[in-house]
Structure formats: C-alpha cells, structure tokens
Copies of this chain bind each other. A is one copy, B any other.
Amino acid sequence: MEPLTLHEDRYFDPQPAVREKARALYAETRDLPLVCPHGHVPPALLADDDPFPEPTALILEPDHYIYRMLYSQGVSMEALGIPPEGPAADGVQVEQDPREVWQLFGEHYYLFRGTPTGAWLDYEFSEVLGVDSTLTGESAQHVYDQITEKLDDPDFRPRALFDRFGIEVLTTTDPASSGLEHHRRIRDADWDGRVVPALRPDAAFALAAGGWEDEIERLREQTDREITDYDGFVKALEEQRAFFKKMGATSTDHAVVEPLTQRLSDRQASDLFDRALRGEATAEDQHAFQAHMLMEMARMSCEDGLVMQIHPGALRDHNASVYERFGPDSGADIPVPTEYTRNLRALLNAYGNHPNFGLVVFTLDESTYARELAPLAGHYPAMRLGPPWWFHDSIEGMKRYRRRTTETAGIYNTAGFNDDTRAFLSIPARHDLSRRIDANYLATLVARHQLSMSEAHEMAHALAVDLVRDTYRLDREKEGGG
C-alpha cells in the first residue's frame, strides 16, 4: 500500500519564483473562515446531527462526480448499490454490501488521477479522516476500516466537523415552497453554527413539468394562501421570500437552460399561469414564463435585497434510460452553449443599474468568460461574475477563469468562491484548492511584476473572504432573524 500524503506545495507552479510567493500568499488565507454562499448540503444533516453511518454512505452516496466517472467506465449503478426505481427494478441485482461497493470504488480510484474529484477525495481521506494509504483495490478494506473507526468518534458528527472546518456560514438550497423545518431546528438547537437557506423557485416556474402542480400545492400549504391565479402566485412568492429572509437567507437561485429574460404584460403572465393550472401549458409557455419570472425575481430583489443567482446552461438528465431508472441528479447533466449578452439584456437594462440589486451569474460555457461575462460584470454595477462552476471548479478551470476575466472585469467584479457541493466532507477540500489556486494566480502576477506582494496579499484576502461576504451580503451583523 502506498502512503497517502498531501504535499504542502501541492497545486503550486514548480517555478521557484512563483512557488515561494504562492506559499506566502496561501499562508495568510489557509486558516481564514469558510464562507459558503451556495451549495447543496441537506440541512437535515445539521438539524439531526446524527453520526455518519459508514464510509460508502458518507463518501459515495452524495457525490454524483464519483458515480459519473465509474459509470463512464462500465460500472453499473446497481453494482454501486443504487437501486433502480419503478418497474425497471424488477429482478435487478443491487449490491447490498457497502464494503463491496467500497472495494469497487477502490479498484477504480485510478480513474480520478488528474481530476479535482481525486484531489478533493485525497484531502478528505488525509486531512479530514486521517486515512494513511492511497485508495486502491488493495488498500480498500484497510481504508474502509480506518474511516469506520473515525465515524464512531463524536468529533466526526456533522456539527463538530462544521465547527472544525471553520465554516462561518453555510447556505443551503431550498425550494420556494419549503417550510424550512430543518433550518428552524438548527436555530432552536444548542449550537451556534450559521446555516441559512436560499430560495430556489425553479419547480414553481416550470409550468409544463410533471411536478408543477405538486409544487404549487406545497406552496399553497406553506403560505396558507389560495393560489388560484398569477397574482396570488406572485404574492405567495413574495411572502416566502420574506420568510426565507427572516430565516437568514440573503439570496435566491435560479437554474434555467437558457438565461432568457423578458418581461410579459400582467395579462400575458396571467394567461400562461391559468393555462398551467388547467394542465395545458407547453414547453414554449414555460420558457416564456421562466424568462418573465426572472424579471419579477429581479424586481423583488431590488426591493428586499436578496441577491439573485442565475445558474444556466445545463441540459438535465441527458441520458433518458439512466434518468428513468435512477431519477434526477444521477450524473447525466450535460452543458449546452449559452448566450448572455442578448439574453440578459432586458434584466440588466431594467435592474442592472439599481443600487440595491445584486446579481451573480454563473456559466458552464467558458467561451463566455472573456467574450460576454467579464464585459457585462465589468460594466453593470449590480452584476458579479460567479466562480468557476461544476465541471470548471478545478485547477485548470480556475486558472482559465482568472486569466480570462481579470483583465476586463478585475477581481473586484467577481463573487469569491463557493463550493456548490452536496458532499459535506468536500467543503474544506474545495476551499483549500481554491485558495491555493488563487494564491498561485496572484503569485504569477507578482513574479511577472504586474503586482506588488502587498497588493497581492490584499487581493488574496479579498478572493478568500471579502468578496464573497460583500457579494452575498453575508456579513454577520446583517443577518435577519435568529
């Protein structure tokens, strides 16, 4: 078995003139708090604070990056212990033993060489869980045992880890209809970790999708308000925004395939909503309604100050048979080319100059960094450019992002880092990687005499904590309720 050790200079350029500066810059940001303005950790994890069951459930289950890679190399979902849904499940053999799944994971761990998933997992193993060997087929059971032992320790419960990780605030992502019960329980608990919701109303805007009526029903129950027309719908949303804000929220989030923004007349919006209530809404209706509701959400943000996030450009559930058998988030979302200049124009024209509006725009289409997003963020006062997202939240992805956006927008029109993760243990790993790459980027500019070290120190601090706090209005004193 190979010993698992993380090199203290990992991810820095080997060039000594860069490396020594990167080291110095990173030394000042490594222990700063982790500010987490966007992610997918289930709030129940911190409301329940139960011990993690065992390594496979802890590491594999929440991580679609892992499934995706193993599936791409012919490992079936069933062999990974994931049961298919519905009639397709009949007679299928699903692996029940988590140790067997872990063994399979170990045997395929080499696939992650050179990937950020591999880097994050090595960090989780080494720095969080104290594993001493590189994961392979040979070491798999040994690693499993080592992790299992740790999970019995109360120091490895979710809240204890939250505190150990130095998380200043953790933002979850919650449907518009949520009653935020888990967040209530966290607030009521004898623990002062800050966990805040973010309102993501996508399901309520998807007029033509299967689950739309159910979401409207949940929204109706939650707000105790009849939602029989568009006006009632808008009022319910406004009410939920106020409720989320009272529960600490500082942001909303919106996932769309195309970031079209376009205001409809009230009459048009009402007609679309009525059509949906009758079950007659089409894909085109939904597209128009989503574009309109982004305008409405921006209007409300100007009023209530919740920062608006747009995450466009992922075609969800590309693989129909995987989707039908295993449901959403099974690793088959694929990006599409995305246009921002024309699509966001209506929204930015209407609200982009408003002093109370904050907008964070993300992309899965890196060709838009230098072409569209940096010029937009480098002009509109309301807009900040979100950090490299998903497939691009990686060593090379972060380098491309800084190289393509800084020269037009500077660093001060970017939104700082967010980890965007479902995998709780990966949070410190992701922030650490990001801080290392930012330190290395700034060190390169210093080594090229574009910056002084004192400027670079200020910028490293900004990239680690100041920009994200400012963009997401997450300074502690600004918190609403609680």
Task: Decide yes or no whether A296 CB sits under 8 A from chain B.
Answer: no
Chain B, residue nearest A8 (CB): B449
CB contact under 8 A between A114 and B370, given known A349-B319, A379-B319, A409-B72:
no
Whether B18 pairs with A14 at a CB distance below 8 angstroms is yes
Whether B318 pairs with A341 at a CB distance below 8 angstroms is yes
Task: Decide yes or no whether A391 CB sits under 8 A from chain B.
Answer: yes
Chain B, residue nearest A378 (CB): B72
Q: How many chain copies does the complex carry?
A: 3
Interface residue from B6, B116, B379 paired with A331 (Cβ < 8 Å): B379
Q: Which residues of B contact A450 (CB under 8 A)?
A: 10-11, 114, 119, 395
> What are 18 A-B pairs with beta-carbon distances under 8 A?
A11-B449, A12-B448, A14-B15, A68-B379, A72-B379, A74-B381, A114-B407, A114-B445, A119-B450, A318-B345, A319-B349, A336-B371, A337-B367, A366-B367, A366-B370, A370-B397, A395-B450, A396-B404
Task: Decide yes or no whether A73 CB sits under 8 A from chain B.
Answer: yes
- Over the window 115-154 of chain A, the binary record of Cβ atoms lying under 8 Å from chain B Cβ atoms (1 yes, 0 no) is 1100100000000000000000000000000000000000
- Over the window 320-340 of chain A, the binary record of Cβ atoms lying under 8 Å from chain B Cβ atoms (1 yes, 0 no) is 111000000001111111010
- Over the window 12-45 of chain A, the binary record of Cβ atoms lying under 8 Å from chain B Cβ atoms (1 yes, 0 no) is 1111011000000000000000000000000000
Whether B451 pairs with A113 at a CB distance below 8 angstroms is yes
- Over the window 381-418 of chain A, the binary record of Cβ atoms lying under 8 Å from chain B Cβ atoms (1 yes, 0 no) is 10100000001101111000001101111111100000
CB contact under 8 A between A406 and B114, given known A353-B319, A355-B74:
yes
Interface size class of A (residues with CB under 8 A): 35 or more
Task: Decide yes or no whether A209 CB sits under 8 A from chain B.
Answer: no
Residues of A that sit less than 8 Å from B by CB = 2, 6-7, 9-15, 17-18, 68-69, 71-74, 110-116, 119, 315, 318-322, 331-337, 339, 341-342, 345, 348-349, 352-353, 355, 364-367, 370-372, 374-381, 383, 391-392, 394-397, 403-404, 406-413, 445, 447-452, 455, 458-459
